Structure 1
């Protein structure tokens, strides 16, 4: 890569990736479902490599919160866009790895309980748009 990511840059990637899971789990909420969905997504994060793995598996958890789905979107979607720009600039060879990890975690979370609901499918589409990935 040439340059290490700073702690703040790593947290941006982590906020984006974990935030995508939060968006999907909150698109069709339910406590039991949220636990199953979060657990299902963790396997994808553990399987990442390189800079993406380092960013997503080291340090503390991101503080992603909001009283509504709209507030979560306002925090997470820009973090996804910023992460794409950051990786495109600093580690372009890692961008596909990041996109695959984020989409994989979000899809796995959405499918963990009774398949992907229409609300979850809509949120997955928004996540793909923020990542610059065609639907």
Structure 2
């Protein structure tokens, strides 16, 4: 069975996933936000399945804005919940793929493989996970 997502659906997935990485970079601004963003983005690029195809597509539809972490979070956290909701409805197997892809990306961004993330990064990761699980 082929799954067809609308352009808006794809934009929501991309905004949610890349927004999660952007939130991690913003929360880790005291450290190395560029390294955080790079590590998280590389993890997103390793996604497979429908999610991998959507995230790999060259697109200018990712809308990430805000002058503060709070403004960015106000946009990204609901997008994460919306992405999970739409995948649970249209492609249930891909919902788990999307969730695990984002979790791997935030783990890479927090560099949890190198020890404990900073308290700010750990809290942002918790908020992202909570938004994923809210759907």
Query: Using the alignment, how far apart are the partners of 1:46 and 1:27 within structure 2?
Result: 21
Other-structure match for 1:118: 119
Residue 39, structure 1, aligned to residue 18, structure 2: no
Residue 77, structure 1, aligned to residue 67, structure 2: no
In 1, are the aligned partners of 2:87 and 2:95 still within 8 Å (CA)? Answer: yes
What 5-or-longer segments of structure 1 have no aligned partner? none
Once the two structures are superposed, the pairs formed by residues 23-34 of structure 1 within 5 Å of their partners are 23-30=23-30, 33-34=32-33
Other-structure match for 2:109: 109
What 5-or-longer segments of structure 2 have no aligned partner? none
More displaced, 43-52 or 67-76? Answer: 43-52
Report the CA distance between 1:28 and its aligned residue: 2.2
Other-structure match for 1:16: 16
Query: Using the alignment, how far apart are the partners of 1:16 and 1:103 within structure 2?
Result: 12
Report the CA distance between 1:114 and its aligned residue: 7.8
Residue 55, structure 1, aligned to residue 84, structure 2: no
- Give the CA RMSD over aligned residues: 1.9
- 3-state SS of paired residue (1:16): helix
More displaced, 53-62 or 106-115? Answer: 106-115
More displaced, 10-19 or 55-64? Answer: 55-64
Query: Using the alignment, how far apart are the partners of 1:79 and 1:115 within structure 2?
Result: 27
Report the CA distance between 1:46 and its aligned residue: 2.1
